[in-house]
Structure 1
Amino acid sequence: MSGATVGEPEGGDGEEVLARVALARVIEPGDEHGGRWLREHGAPGLMRLLTGPDPEPEELSGVGSQRLAGWRARAALADPGRELSEAAAAGCRFICPGSPQWPTQLDDLGDARPVGLWVRGRPDLRTWALRSVALVGARACTPYGAHMAHTLAAGLAERGWVVVSGAAYGVDAAAHRGALGSGGATAAVLACGVDVAYPRGHAGLLGAIAGQGLVLGELPVGSHPTPSRFVLRNRVIAALTRGTVVVEAAYRSGSLVTARWARQLGRFTMGVPGPATSALSAGVHELLRGEAVLVTDAAEVVELVGGMGELAPARRGPVLARDLLHPDTARVLEALPAGRPVQPAEVALAAGTGTDEVIGRLYELHSLGFVERLGDGWRLTPLTREGGTQTGGARRGGR
């Protein structure tokens, strides 16, 4: 782990970091009024305004008196030294703008940018975020959704990409497990303190992510999630990564919020199609009708978010043996009826060529297993009549 140790301000400006640690307890995630004040006054200056005498109205404008009083009450109770000590005990560290590990793409959020991030895990967040993709989707996903999330995550991890998700049940969990199972990198962005196991059933999963990857969030240790914090957490997932893939989502799914943030921030937005009759794919299909790109595997995701030349393989159906025949040979094969042997002269008439040419082509087809000789006549082999090399003549015989 690079940078300062937990409990010691990273980046050298101790006053700035301590003020941001305090403000992380005061300002709710994504609050643009607090973000604007932070930009206008700086972190130490804002803390002085919140803890000193009543500020002038123009100094902290845009909110009502009761809301401002609530923030001032929180600020009066803030104890950044204690916060850092508790974080150290939980194995966490604090990073913020100006820290070596701060992912600068989060600055695209403007005044909604996090005050700072609490992080569990050894890797460098800034480096990991440079090559990361978000995989999100329904909590109550189908087996198909879980399979696609797991497979996509494993494929991305095998290609050296970090899989970012929210550690929820369903698609999120399948994505994290897919990356972990392939020995790859994954990061979980939480809507609570990074020391809080939420959901409780994912305590083991979160421990595995922290051991092999990263667990991060905006809220101080011990903080519990609320519905609004889940929604606002999604903007961090979208801003942190190169693109967002929605695997399954109903019309009101929270994962669509992540996709909208990704599109707004200029990131790639992708969707995995599902059955047209599935309500859990309806939200994804609506994305795909707009600006999202359809993807079905990791190679297609990397083709969008990766560097020049990282292209998905060309897609085509299976190559049948008859596809490789010379056009003149294929024309003779198509002239053979399905149900009976024929003379070369009859084949020549149907193929529009000479008898000598037909005889040569028939022997070529015989060597390849398409036809067999029966006395003076020729007929299609059973495999040719019944299998993938079915000819035009056989189709004509079936009408």
Structure 2
Amino acid sequence: MLASWAARFETADPARDLAEGERCGARLVIPGDSEWPTQLDDLGDRRPYALWLHGEADLRFSCLRSVAVVGSRAATPYGTHVATEFGAGLSERGWTVVSGGAYGIDGAVHRGALACEAPTVAVLACGTDVTYPSAHHDLFAAVRSQGLLVSESPMGVRPTRPRFLIRNRLIAALSRGSLVIEAAVRSGALNTAGHAVSLNRVLAVVPGPVTSETSAGCHRLIRQGKAVCVTSPEEMIELVGVMGDDLAPEQRGPVFPHDLLNSETRRVLEAMPIRIGVGPATIAVTAGVDMETVLSCLGGLAAAGYVERVPKGWRLRSGGPSGG
């Protein structure tokens, strides 16, 4: 290992790297600089010594309210749709999206974020001047204009498998929490999830079809108790936001007229027969209320169109208000 590092040291040329970075429009930041995100200190001895940045946004400021979103490169149409919705939803609410710029979920969430005004950050496993994957040339240009490309590697460095795994710790450390959208049981996204857990960051996943191998890793994280299930950007923000200020709205089903009745009136209504008429005494027994209550409720229910009087007593009115 020492011999390997010694060989790299002999070929290193910091002055050349700085000059090449300046020529490409990138800048180098180190711990102590105003743009350095102090949350990277949580990495301890795994903290990067420096970062190359290429883009218009301020890295430290952008990551104060940020969420990492990662997932499968071989994303399904479901995963791509969900990632785009989360990217746009988070960005619309002023949250920076951090991801890896890869195919699949990464690309979709970056594109979703770019549809709104908040910056998006792509952490690369190569130099910021290297477009990998090559098909993301236009995407990376858009990220530079609205956010940042970030890398530990100087200009010209090509990606390798170890570099992808190493950079994942930065994606997790830069953000308040990480969200996984589609990940197989063996997936690089789960490597990022592991870093989030080790850093005591929030970890959440979006569930997928139970028949989908692409979501099997997400479901395992939920079953192991390592991740929280979320289904909307609001729910993710509730996990990483300010306690009491960023609560997600409680999801509710549709409200039917039936739901607006008080408890005694609802019990009387639920005791009513559909076809035959019955007297108030029978209704009282079925509903478990007294006769006076039944008589007082029947008038209101009849006026609202729920029930009708027939020769043998009372019954539900055909075609009355829906009770759900």
Counterpart in the other structure of 2:69: 135
> What SS does the corresponding residue of 1:182 show, helix, strand or coil?
coil
CA contact (8 A) 2:41 2:47 kept: yes
How far the C-alpha of 1:293 sits from its partner, in A, is 1.4
Q: Give the alignment's TM-score, normalised by structure 2.
A: 0.92
Counterpart in the other structure of 1:276: 210
For residues 72-83 of structure 1, the aligned pairs below 5 Å read 72-83=6-17
CA contact (8 A) 1:154 1:184 kept: no
How far the C-alpha of 1:173 sits from its partner, in A, is 1.0
Compared CA separation, residues 373 and 84, structure 1 to 2 (3 A)? same
After TM superposition, the structure 1 stretch with the greater mean CA deviation from structure 2, 139-148 or 250-259, is 139-148
For residues 255-274 of structure 1, the aligned pairs below 5 Å read 255-274=189-208
- Of 219, 236, 243, the match for 1:301: 236
Counterpart in the other structure of 1:112: 46
**Amino acid in the other structure paired with 1:311:** L
After TM superposition, the structure 1 stretch with the greater mean CA deviation from structure 2, 94-103 or 161-170, is 94-103
> What SS does the corresponding residue of 1:317 show, helix, strand or coil?
coil
Counterpart in the other structure of 1:178: 112
Which string of whole-angstrom CA distances, capped at 9 and with x for unpartnered residues, describes residues 322-351 of structure 1?
232222222221221112334445434544
Q: Distance in 1 between matches of 2:32 and 2:233?
A: 33
- Of 263, 288, 297, the match for 1:361: 297
Number of residue equivalences: 322
> What SS does the corresponding residue of 1:382 show, helix, strand or coil?
coil
Which string of whole-angstrom CA distances, capped at 9 and with x for unpartnered residues, describes residues 112-160 of structure 1?
2212111111221111112111000011111221122112222211221
- Of 157, 163, 167, the match for 2:101: 167
For residues 1-399 of structure 1, the aligned pairs below 5 Å read 63-64=1-2, 66-67=3-4, 71-290=5-224, 291-309=226-244, 310-351=246-287, 357-374=293-310, 377-384=313-320, 387-389=322-324
**Amino acid in the other structure paired with 2:200:** G
Q: Distance in 1 between matches of 2:289 and 2:62?
A: 66
Counterpart in the other structure of 1:54: none
Which string of whole-angstrom CA distances, capped at 9 and with x for unpartnered residues, describes residues 242-270 of structure 1?
11111110001100000101111111111
> What SS does the corresponding residue of 1:271 show, helix, strand or coil?
strand
Which string of whole-angstrom CA distances, capped at 9 and with x for unpartnered residues, describes residues 345-373 of structure 1?
54345445565643432220122221234
Q: Distance in 2 between matches of 1:164 and 1:95?
A: 18
**Amino acid in the other structure paired with 1:97:** P
> What SS does the corresponding residue of 1:133 show, helix, strand or coil?
strand
Pairwise CA RMSD of aligned residues?
Answer: 2.0
**Amino acid in the other structure paired with 2:160:** T
Q: Distance in 2 between matches of 1:226 and 1:347?
A: 76
**Amino acid in the other structure paired with 1:339:** R
Identity of aligned residues (%): 53
How far the C-alpha of 1:377 sits from its partner, in A, is 4.0
Compared CA separation, residues 344 and 160, structure 1 to 2 (3 A)? same
**Amino acid in the other structure paired with 1:371:** V
> What SS does the corresponding residue of 2:53 show, helix, strand or coil?
strand
Q: Where in structure 1 are there 5+ consecutive unaligned residues? A: 1-62, 390-399
Q: Distance in 1 between matches of 2:115 and 2:240?
A: 23
**Amino acid in the other structure paired with 1:202:** H
After TM superposition, the structure 1 stretch with the greater mean CA deviation from structure 2, 283-292 or 315-324, is 315-324
CA contact (8 A) 2:276 2:312 kept: no
After TM superposition, the structure 1 stretch with the greater mean CA deviation from structure 2, 323-332 or 142-151, is 323-332
**Amino acid in the other structure paired with 1:251:** V
Q: Give the alignment's TM-score, normalised by structure 1.
A: 0.76
How far the C-alpha of 1:163 sits from its partner, in A, is 0.4
How far the C-alpha of 1:85 sits from its partner, in A, is 1.9
Q: Distance in 1 between matches of 2:283 and 2:88?
A: 54
